[in-house]
Structure 1
């Protein structure tokens, strides 16, 4: 999609569709008031007929409005004016895009961002318009004919701002939003691909293709023999049950000074997880193609950093493997040795994500990182605890926790901090190894994070459990692209392109 900025007299703009906001009790937003006046009160007259009162997400399409150059005028309900929240705003944006996709407009000029929700900046309101639009127009078509595709898809969205003084902010918001949206789309597409296409080798090839597009990005792919030399016994123990060789994908983006410590993002890349010997139930096992959404999130964030040419250094690490039952696969009771030298008793082979992550977290030490953030569809327990709205955040670093929470709020990709107390560590005790790979049913998401914490003593670290947020089930089944918006917000702030939230 293409996003543009315009200012000037709305009545004179020629566009296939002009999008205007209406609040409850038929109260026109300011841009709509100007259009109403130019049309001789036509909007007010139509609203009096009662077809639209302003409820959030309700729409009404008008044609041939007198005095208006636009071919169509789309009125969109925004809810109560005094209670106009960001959630209502995004719902209104989505409703407008959904209707536009069903018309033959193709292009539209939207004024919805001028009605800035409570507590939101103009920059974020405009950026939300871009990211929400891109989210709604995304359609998966890689392995199916999209028979429901719009006949005239929305190709261009122009955002209107009231004054020329607002253009610079609008252009920045649009550029950032477009990069975030492209990163989200990449993460969605990788997640939605089936496991027989999106294998560890496929992910490695996609990483190399991404590096070929950007001068500041290089990619190294570690093969199993190299991982063996490094002593990555935990990671390799997971791939032994698969015919697909494991890959450790390493992105290096050099946007800052040579001596600047990088931000390191580590994303779990289980391209399919059957559970191994501790095999999962058959119901909904197909969704385990999404067990690589942490890795997909790293891909999306790295691409966005490159497109925005951010002035910082970034390392992205994606351990990629499958977890399948086989004669060579991990067995409950096996003892494996991690790269750190610590031994692990495998009590459940379906707790494999932490095994590929722990060696990658140890590998992260060599980059002397400013901070390491890992993201993983790690535990069903996190979904039980938090549902599908926030990602679980685990860190002992209060300052880092606040940074991530604030970035999540700004990006509308929210997190909820969970405890990482020493009290939980005893649940990982083993009679036969330095630790077990599970800590029992109680606090499963927390003990998983506790396990990872044992490999992160040498740097600042946070863990994001995205099991509840990385994809949707049911009729709307598909990848969400989260937490790409959160990660890019962190990178924008750490690079100094955007100020850190107070």
Structure 2
């Protein structure tokens, strides 16, 4: 969907030709004599449009308005959170097959973050998965009996974001558009069936991203991974006919001497559970087990657009977890890249096995921080549901920065404990560590396992098992936590620039 920013006050919006005109109406309707302002004021006075964010009043062909379809949608106090709720409420209208040109108009000047929220929410609301759907032939336009509103849901071709003064929000709009591209990229890859998102295909997607300036990519196969000594990763992959891929992306936006942030995304493109086979019910959703990998790809798609002054490395250990005659067995002991041996008590706890080798590899970049992202544990879903991602961190400053970034991006997380006592359950009589503890605090013991493979570098683990996708009627990937990660990286990029400016001012004052 092409998104454009325009100066479009209420009077001009009434004259704007489009298939759907959506008007964000705040609690206090701005006074005006134009048709839209009058319509919004009457709707509010008659209590036909509630103040609750997301309340929608559909109006067809109102007098004095060029658009046939008009939706008045309450955006409450105009905050980013309220605007997001308002725009998501327009999903059905945005996906209507007859709606190809949309205008989304702020009646009042947008608050901080509201433009970003509107752009990202509009992209989310308009998203329709089509990659593996058949191409049904629609009746010819104008044909007898043809219904212009018939057919499957579709995304609009173009959306105009109208604000009272475009120049005032241009920078925020440009950043939001890049972020929305990254979130959409992550959603698309996570949504694809496992036979359309194999480890090889993920490697090809990463190589395509490397076509953008400043991004490089290396994709390694089984022989190269074996040479690196990644015994845990190799063990998980050996039950599948699909060859593993170890994907390394590098974004260079700062000086060569600047330490990078390393993102590590779990890339299990399908998880049967291995020999510890999962129940059949809802096993199809295990195509989403590469949500961490998808988020890393999405971040790099956003970096290609935003070009922040920071260095970032993305690592994706990608494979399937399948149960054949060569598959890893409960009780097997494998040797990780770090040299630590691991007793595999449950082959369905495979994500931590591929991640631990990638975390060891990450240390060679001497990073400023390492953040791994994984659909790791059902225990985290029980603890936090789908609202917040689980955050575990060895460093308080890193944890605080990620929490702030999540709130800013409306992609929240919640910090969980990492007390040493939680690691007691991972002791093994046959190896240095077991890959699972008991049922209690399963998300925490998984994080404690990963912590063993990180040195002194500030490290954080995001368990996105509850937030990466939705089940049921709304089944599909969310694109989280791309928003959180991009917000964190932009903040990290801005911090050195602010420090340099402060130093310059100090030197000037002394001079």
TM-score (structure 2 length as normaliser): 0.88
Q: Is the 8 A contact 2:266 2:351 kept in 1?
A: yes
- Given candidates 92, 114, 132, the residue that maps to 1:143 is 132
Matching residue of 1:155: 157
CA distance in 2, matches of 1:499, 1:407: 18
The answer for the alignment partner of 2:482 in structure 1 is: 484
CA, structure 1 residues 340+72, in 2 after alignment: closer, same or farther (shift >3 Å)?
A: same
Q: Distance in 2 between matches of 1:267 and 1:113?
A: 41
What secondary structure sits across from 1:440 in the alignment? coil
**C-alpha distance in 2 between matches for 1:428 and 1:131:** 41
Task: Name the SS of the counterpart of 1:496 in structure 2.
Answer: helix
Aligned partner of 1:375 among 373, 376, 385 = 373
Aligned equivalents of 2:194, 2:467: Cα separation in 1: 20
Shift in Å, 1:105: 4.8
**Aligned counterparts, 1:356-375, within 5 A:** 356-375=354-373
- Going from structure 1 to structure 2, the CA distance change for 1:194 and 1:150 (only over 3 Å counts) comes to closer
Question: What's the counterpart of residue 385 of structure 1?
Answer: 383
- Report the equivalent of 1:5: 5
Partner of 1:91: 85
* C-alpha contact (below 8 Å) 1:346/1:437 kept by paired residues: yes
Distance change (3 Å), C-alpha of 1:28 and 1:350:
same
The Cα offsets for residues 370-398 of structure 1, whole Å up to 9 and x where unpaired, read as: 11100000010110111111000001211
1:421 shift after superposition: 0.7
**Alignment check: 8 A CA contact 2:53 2:86 kept:** yes
Instruction: Kindly report which structure 2 residues correspond to 1:457-476, keeping only aligned pairs within 5 A, or say none.
Output: 457-476=455-474
Q: What is the RMSD computed on CA atoms of the aligned residues?
A: 2.5
Deviation sequence 1:340-394 (CA, Å, 0-9, x none): 0111111111111010000000000111111110000001011011111100000
Matched, 1:19 2:8: no
Matches within 5 A, 1:346-361: 346-361=344-359
Label 1:499 to 1:257 Cα distance change in 2 as closer, same or farther (>3 A).
closer
Question: TM-score, length-normalised on structure 1?
Answer: 0.90
Alpha-carbon distance in structure 2 between the residues aligned to 1:40 and 1:377: 46
Question: Is the contact between residue 11 and residue 67 of structure 1 (CA under 8 Å) also seen in structure 2?
Answer: no
Distance 1:12 1:198, change over 3 A: closer
- The Cα shift of 1:307 comes to 1.5
Which structure 2 segments of 5+ residues have no match?
137-149, 499-511
After superposition, the C-alpha distances for 1:317-344 in whole angstroms (9 at most, x for unaligned) are 0000111112211111111111101111
Identify the residue that residue 424 of structure 1 maps to in structure 2.
422
Equivalences, count: 482
Gapped regions of structure 1 (runs ≥ 5): none
Deviation at 1:50, TM superposition (A): 5.3
Partner of 2:196: 197
Give 1:241's aligned residue: 239
Distance 1:152 1:387 in 2: 30
Distance 1:450 1:41, change over 3 A: closer
